[in-house]
Amino acid sequence: MRCSYRFTTLIAATLTAVPLLGQSTRADQRAAAAANSATQMPVVIPAGTPLTVAIDEDLSSASVNQGQEVSFHLTADYSEFGHVLIAQGTPVRGTVAHVARRSAGGNPGTQKGLSAVIAKGTEFTVFTDAKRTVVVPR
């Protein structure tokens, strides 16, 4: 259990949430227009906003590689001011930052015994990696 916890902690600590709300010039233009609109308003989701996500696939320390992309989804709507800013089920990407395995030469790595597995559906708290502006009705 301790090895599985370490592996889970390593993965969880290195993921960044990237909801598919890409910040672009077009989004900046919509936000600027909304600031002067009577019917729309821009809402900023700050960098570092915590979100709860669930992993979409089983992940094993025996087969995962550093740099590998991992898929998640948002487990609940993220709302502010009575508006859903990021909908439940929104895809989220994460990246494995570090993997330490046993080796044939006798190096035990950081796990002993069986490989650690994170089951599909396991929930994590992750944080947005950049500020996002979303335009919502007033």
Q: How confident is the model at residue 8 (pLDDT cuts 50, 70, 90)?
A: very low
65-106: per-residue pLDDT in tens? 999 999 999 999 999 888 899 999 999 988 888 877 666 555
Q: Residue 25, exposed/middle/buried by CB under 10 A (0-12, 13-18, 19+)? A: exposed
- The pLDDT value recorded for residue 20 is 47
Q: What are phi and psi of 3, to 5 degrees?
A: -65, -45
103-136: per-residue pLDDT in tens? 655 555 556 667 788 899 999 998 888 898 888 8
pTM: 0.66
Helices (DSSP H) in 14-136: which residue ranges? 25-35
User: Where do the domains of the chain lie, and which CATH numbers do they carry?
Assistant: 2-137 (2.40.128)
Using an 8 Å Cβ cutoff, are 119 and 93 in contact? Answer: no
